[in-house]
Amino acid sequence: MEKLSIGTMILDHTEEALYPYIDFMASLGMTSCQICRVTDDLLNDRAASDRFINYLRAKKIEPVSIFLHTRVREGGNGLVSDAERPARFVSACRQMAWGAHYGVKYISCHVGEFPEHGTADYDRWIADMQELIRFAADMGQDFLFETGPEPAEVLKQALEDLNEKNAGINFDPANLLWYNKTDPAVFAEMLFPYFRLIHCKDAVRPVPGGEWHGRETVLGEGGTNFFALLESLLKKGFRGPLIIEREIPFGEERCRDLTVASAKLAALRAKYL
């Protein structure tokens, strides 16, 4: 895998949107991507999947990660709900196997709000997650917890309890501000050894008395102090993929933001490679 490859997330798999977007990524010199929502449309259609992956590779873009898709019926998002866990684990395994066929290394996921440590629910969830993470290992993959609503100490405890070598973190500093949790620099200091992939995204914390969540911003204009934070991680030796995430509809603004972010990341990358 290319060190510090720069890419973005692929969200729309409809052919009329997908291929022009890949062309746009290639025009920016991107060499990696994170595929989101590997749904039944791809899982059940190998020909469509082959066209998609072959087109990426023809443009010299490598799919380095899948962000797991979970159907929401009850029990919230992620892999925590007792009622939904069996079906979601089966879906996750199908997506992992799909990715393994194409050499995808990292499986990222918003796992959901963890059960309380020390309870029977927590112990059962840990045991179940160990089996899922071992399945990822069998596929030659690392399973990455996407940072979000968990404070650093909670995620650290879970990773220690899991004790699986291929369990790591998809570090998204913006989400820590979005959910008003651990300062990203403090989080990185505590959990850096687990970092495998970084979401290049920025945000500000929620306004007191306003919405419960924060607000996404242009990369470098939020409260994560993103480029200084990233440089500190590069100095520590991080060399995983840098995946730009911009959660606004595809259009002129998103294209502009991706273009600027890609150029800034490339300039920083050049200092360390």
CB 43, CB 94: distance < 8 Å = yes
Could you list the mean pLDDT of each consecutive 10-residue stretch along the chain, which spans 273 residues? Answer: 96 88 97 93 94 97 94 72 92 97 97 94 98 98 94 97 98 97 97 98 94 94 98 98 91 94 98 95
Q: What is the pLDDT of residue 242?
A: 98
Q: How many CB atoms lie within 10 A of CB 17?
A: 13
Q: What is the pLDDT of residue 74?
A: 60
Residue among 114, 113, 71 at smallest CA distance from 89:
71
Q: What is the pLDDT of residue 249?
A: 81
Sort strands 167-171 and 142-146 into parallel, antiparallel or unpaired.
parallel
Q: What is the pLDDT of residue 102?
A: 98
Q: What is the pLDDT of residue 69?
A: 81
- Residue type at 267 in one-letter notation: A
Q: What is the pLDDT of residue 148?
A: 86
CA–CA–CA angle 41, 42, 45 (5° rounding): 85
Q: What is the pLDDT of residue 63?
A: 98
